[in-house]
Structure 1
Amino acid sequence: MGFDPRFSVLVSGYSFLESPRWHDDHLWLSDFYTHQVIRVDGQGRVEKIADVPQQPSGMGWLPDGRLLVVSMRDRKLLRREADGRLVTHADLSPIADGSVNDMVVDAQGRAYVGNFGFDLMGGGTPQTATLARVDPDGSVHAAAEGLYFPNGSMITPDGQTLIVAETMGNRISAFDIQPDGQLGPRRDWAAWGPLPAMTDVPSVLGALKAAPDGATLDAEGAVWFADAVGHRVVRMAPGGEILESISTGDQGAFACTLGGPDGRTLFICVAPDFLEHARQATREAAIWTTRVAVPGAGRP
């Protein structure tokens, strides 16, 4: 297909872009296989912020403005100090049974961090995962268990609800956030199919009607998510009604966020696929943008 005219290309030529964040009038991104965190201004000018040798992913900021970034392969959360040094904020390996991935940081500086639950890229058998909570002092706690590949995570503007996209669960889950950061029981924010049998990755992917990857909230309480098996981004209402679906054609969509000066630019991380062996050797990932009616809200 030809390039859809509703999209513009902000940046291209990267390996696999993930965890887009709009912060301080810039789009911040992790590029998995060049191991760098970058930020991009509205004209597409790029600045490298950090090197994360063990593969960067989710990002967020402490109340004092310091960046937290996931280091996937060694299952750590890193903190960028004022002088630019990266130091270990927390070691998630006691909780994470697979590579650590996306996260969201609340207004108190608590990070809710997901992980794969198993060795996805190495052909491991699918397993559910435990969501971690990292408190501002770096202490690590199990926040929720039995999640089907917890991925894009969001916090509502009032700070009281955590919403977690479960990429392999045919669902998005919600949790009440207690004052101390502990989570109440899991409930369905939306569900659109049965929980897959965790037998093997191809079977799980084949059982998914949509695979919500990176995600973001808007001011009407809807979630935009990248559908990792559907070559599209979806705007969904609580309960599961699809309000809008935008095809990304022959490119896969793996994360999205809302930002820009008015919060109405949807930034989409696209690549031909998510396979590590294919993405490491090529530079085919890009950020596409399109305009939407409702601005972003909440966190990240």
Structure 2
Amino acid sequence: MFINCLAMHKSELLSDYIGTLPECPTWSDRDGRLYWTDIVKKELHWVQPKTGEHKTLQFDEEVGCFALREKGGFILAMRSGIYLSDADGRIEKKVCDNPSNPSVARFNDGGVDQDGRFYAGTYWGPRDFNGALLCRVDSALRVRVLQCDILGANGLAFSPDRRWMYTTDTPNHVMYRTPLDPASGEPGLREVFMRFPTGNGRPDGAAMDVEACYWTALFNGHRIARISPSGEVIEEYGLPVRCPTMVCFGGDDMKTLFITTTRENMSADEIAERPLSGAIFALRTAVAGLRKPAFKELS
């Protein structure tokens, strides 16, 4: 079954912000803010939609992905490793080195599971083989590499019933699912869930809704897709830009889908044609999304 909804819902600009490579949008119920990183600019941002207040935190390295901490502040997957910081971006502790080669592989996509553990995947810059990986930091700050044989780790999301972890490998046009032990959350063997044809968008960052449907940004595809638990594309939402990078749900009712986009490596002609590339959009949805858990540390 396929339902084309490209003309049924219209996204709106979140603000007048335009970035280079915005990624990892993360909604915070605690303060009513949307957080995101601009990887190329080495920045972490937040905006409060109700007031328009916007703040930028500057770092010395790329922040590929991050998560909010239950204790306040952030866990940050940066070029050289994973760190803990306070709410103002001041580094408090280094958790680990980048388990990939940091000279050619930066962190890219990540998030937190229902047990409060932080996952972070890398992107293999040379693109000569599948040299990236996915690792996990638990509440005791122990680090474990979970998966390899990846070119660009992306699309992390967890099913509401705790049975599945979904990921994508964007350059390879593939979406995976990995079975999880419902009690411990430990992963089993990864399996291919969907393959996307070339030339029509690649699966990038993602989010999960309460009906266990997976929402993915289709990089180079001008749109967002909603995929059912059985692997059917059941809805699509068009965008006025070519390259959305990631989505997350937020707002008081969790029915606003926030969408980051990029203008990295675009020509001046394309930016003139699509000047909103790099903006963040908000799309109202009929279904609520799952809240992103915060990273949980042992006290």
3-state secondary structure, aligned to 1:99: strand
CA distance in 2, matches of 1:276, 1:142: 33
Residues 130 and 295 of structure 1: CA distance in aligned 2, closer, same or farther (over 3 Å): same
Structure 2: which amino acid aligns with 1:78? Y
2:194 is matched with which residue: 190, 193, 207? 190
Q: Mapping of 1:1-300 within 5 angstroms?
A: 6-11=10-15, 12-24=17-29, 25-43=32-50, 45-48=52-55, 50-71=57-78, 73-74=79-80, 76-81=81-86, 85-95=90-100, 98-119=105-126, 124-178=127-181, 179=183, 182-192=186-196, 207=198, 209-271=200-262, 273-275=263-265, 285-297=278-290, 299=292
Higher relative contact order (CA 8 A, sep 6+): 2
Are the equivalent residues in 2 in contact too, given 1:170–1:208 (CA < 8 A)? no
CA distance in 1, matches of 2:184, 2:229: 26
CA distance in 2, matches of 1:92, 1:181: 24
Structure 1: which amino acid aligns with 2:67? G
Are the equivalent residues in 2 in contact too, given 1:22–1:257 (CA < 8 A)? yes
The alpha-carbon deviation at position 157 of structure 1 amounts to: 2.8
Identify the residue that residue 203 of structure 1 maps to in structure 2.
Answer: none
CA distance in 1, matches of 2:176, 2:58: 32
Residues 208 and 128 of structure 1: CA distance in aligned 2, closer, same or farther (over 3 Å): farther
Are the equivalent residues in 1 in contact too, given 2:135–2:146 (CA < 8 A)? yes
CA distance in 1, matches of 2:260, 2:161: 27
Structure 2: which amino acid aligns with 1:219? V
- Number of aligned residue pairs: give it: 275
> Which segment drifts farther, 47-56 or 22-31?
47-56
> Which segment drifts farther, 244-253 or 177-186?
177-186
3-state secondary structure, aligned to 1:168: helix
The alpha-carbon deviation at position 139 of structure 1 amounts to: 2.5
Are the equivalent residues in 2 in contact too, given 1:215–1:257 (CA < 8 A)? yes
Residues 129 and 67 of structure 1: CA distance in aligned 2, closer, same or farther (over 3 Å): same
CA distance in 1, matches of 2:202, 2:45: 26
The alpha-carbon deviation at position 158 of structure 1 amounts to: 3.7
CA distance in 1, matches of 2:162, 2:241: 37
Residues 211 and 83 of structure 1: CA distance in aligned 2, closer, same or farther (over 3 Å): closer
CA distance in 2, matches of 1:148, 1:64: 33
The alpha-carbon deviation at position 108 of structure 1 amounts to: 3.4
Are the equivalent residues in 1 in contact too, given 2:226–2:234 (CA < 8 A)? yes
CA distance in 2, matches of 1:43, 1:164: 32
Identify the residue that residue 272 of structure 2 maps to in structure 1.
Answer: none
RMSD of aligned alpha carbons: 2.9
Where has structure 1 moved over 4 Å in runs of 4 or more? none
Residues 65 and 102 of structure 1: CA distance in aligned 2, closer, same or farther (over 3 Å): same
Residues 34 and 45 of structure 1: CA distance in aligned 2, closer, same or farther (over 3 Å): farther
CA distance in 1, matches of 2:50, 2:156: 28
1:97-127 residue CA offsets vs partner (Å, 9 max, x unmatched): 61111111124332121111333xxxx4242
CA distance in 1, matches of 2:92, 2:195: 38
The alpha-carbon deviation at position 33 of structure 1 amounts to: 3.1
Structure 2: which amino acid aligns with 1:104? G
Structure 2: which amino acid aligns with 1:152? G
Are the equivalent residues in 1 in contact too, given 2:112–2:118 (CA < 8 A)? yes
CA distance in 1, matches of 2:141, 2:266: 30
The alpha-carbon deviation at position 40 of structure 1 amounts to: 1.1
The alpha-carbon deviation at position 186 of structure 1 amounts to: 0.5
CA distance in 1, matches of 2:199, 2:84: 35
The alpha-carbon deviation at position 187 of structure 1 amounts to: 1.9
Are the equivalent residues in 2 in contact too, given 1:89–1:138 (CA < 8 A)? no
CA distance in 1, matches of 2:267, 2:11: 28
